[in-house]
Amino acid sequence: SVAQPGVAVATGPAPPVCPGRIRYFKV
């Protein structure tokens, strides 16, 4: 995030990542 100095930037938990990694290949 880019913000002016002294300005609070809203930070929260990162959104969950789904679907997960592909271990072999996608059919």
Positions touching another protein (CB under 8 A) are 16-27
Residue whose pair of structure tokens reads 């002016």 in the numeric block: 4
Tokens read off for 10: 């809203």
What is the nearest approach in angstroms of another protein to the Cβ of residue 12? 10
What is the nearest approach in angstroms of another protein to the Cβ of residue 11? 16
What is the nearest approach in angstroms of another protein to the Cβ of residue 4? 28
Q: With respect to another protein, which residue has the nearer C-beta, 5 or 15?
A: 15
